[in-house]
Structure 1
Amino acid sequence: MSTKPEHRVQGVDHAAFPTFDPAATVRFYRDVLRFPVVHSICAAGWGPEKHPDFIHFFFDIGGGDRIAFFYYFGLEQTGDADAPGDSWARLPEGTPQYFVNSRHLAIHVADEDDLLEYRRRLDESNWPVEMQVMHETIESIYTHDPNGYMVEITRALRAVTPQEDLDAELTIDALIEVAEGDSPSLEKLLTRKAELIVQRAAQWAADHEAATR
């Protein structure tokens, strides 16, 4: 008999939102609020729908929680982003479903047993699991609540490494440059990221040598 309580979740893993201005988003959360970038995912052709290429990036907001953003390359902004009461966040008619679903709440559980338990509960309800996905470092199940909001329940597959934190830093630095240029694309982001790796390699080598003396 299981000794685990009925309530198995361990708080918010991340809350996610779309952005049309990733450079400003990074400056606000990373540079002004000092929330470090802790993970990023560059994706091409991902998803059950026909997605544009996108980047999904995460900031550490303390207590093991994160806030995350999606930037979709080539997606034009709609509405008036300068009018908070009537902005693109209201999702005008015709907004792509992947953009709607990018605004979601992800709740963390400890292990596979807990994830499967929540899958069982959902599948026996009026809101069954719509998809189960293995991401880079997590496994997640998804459904929509009675209000139409997407809810994700997720477990870690492994710890994120310091090397992946460094990769996220490089990715975001490249994203800022590309997003502020003409016709941003995932290909341009990855090209610029490769250039940054080459530029910074000598300094990394020097830092490693100094640390190992």
Structure 2
Amino acid sequence: MTLPDIQTEHRVKGVDHAAFPTFDPAATVRFYRDTLKFPVVHSICAAGWGPEDHPDFIHFFFDIGNDDRIAFFYYFGMPKPNTERGKGDVYARFGADIPDFFVNSRHLAIHVDSEEDLLEYRRRLDASEWPCEMQVQHETIESIYTHDPNGYMIELTRALRPVTPQEDLDAELTIEALCEVASGPDPSLDKLLTRKAELIVDRAARWEAVTK
């Protein structure tokens, strides 16, 4: 039996997540969670991430089955363009002023099983015309990034550890706070975290009352 060549074999395991920006997280949650019944499974609150002009943001994920996810970025302070149906792509609303971080928020993440597999794909990219641009560990995953020949960001990612039920609950509270804060005046990450803390205290009080 001939073993597969590690340098040529196909080692990816399908889509980890496809990611997009959102200007209306409350409507996004109503559509994916409440209408389509895709549960919220993870969220990341990011403050002071990246370059100095990078805004605070929330990155949140819905389970779409088969261990695949669809994810969204909500950037605090970004102006909302015209996104009505039939009005063209959201990117066209910004013209030439669209920031790079917003373009890159729309990307495809492909899953691999191990660090060995991730480093193998980094080796392949670094030996090509499209070398790895960034390798980052964020919370529960490690990812490498590059741009394909069309300018689209591609992410290859591996899980660092399983996501816990406690983190699923944390994501639910984060998204509940986000929907409230983003629908009000001057949304910010500080306001979201304050509201989330209030929700945690309220839930703990209700839990304590039930278990007495």
Same fold (TM over 0.5): yes
Tell me the equivalent position of 1:104. 107
Structure 2 unaligned spans of 5+: none
Q: Equivalences for 1:71-90 in 2 at 5 Å?
A: 71-78=74-81, 80-90=82-92
1:1-213 pair list within 5 angstroms: 3=4, 6-48=9-51, 50-78=53-81, 80-90=82-92, 92-205=95-208, 209=211
Instruction: Supply the AA of the counterpart residue of 2:157.
Output: T
1:117-155: CA deviation from partner (whole Å, max 9, x where unpaired): 000000000000000000000000000000000000000
Structure 1 residues 60 and 137: alpha-carbon distance in aligned structure 2, compared to 1, 3 A threshold: same
Q: CA deviation at 1:83?
A: 4.0
What number of residue pairs does the alignment pair up? 208
Give the superposition deviation at 1:48. 4.4
CA distance in 1, matches of 2:54, 2:86: 27
Percent identical across equivalent pairs?
Answer: 74
Deviates more, 1:171-180 or 1:195-204: 195-204
Instruction: Find the residue that maps to 2:135 and give its secondary structure.
Output: strand
- SS of equivalent to 1:15: strand
The alpha-carbon deviation at position 54 of structure 1 amounts to 0.3
Q: Is the 8 A contact 2:16 2:110 kept in 1?
A: yes
CA RMSD of the aligned region, Å?
A: 1.8
TM-score by length of 1: 0.92
CA-to-partner distance for each residue in 1:28-66, whole Å, 9 max, x for gaps? 000000000000000011124631000000000000000
| 2-structure distance, mates of 1:197, 1:129 | 40
Q: Which amino acid aligns with 2:34?
A: D
- 1:77–1:88 CA contact under 8 A, matched in 2: no
Distance, in Å, in 1 between the alignment partners of 2:22 and 2:35 is 17
Q: Is the 8 A contact 1:55 1:72 kept in 2?
A: yes
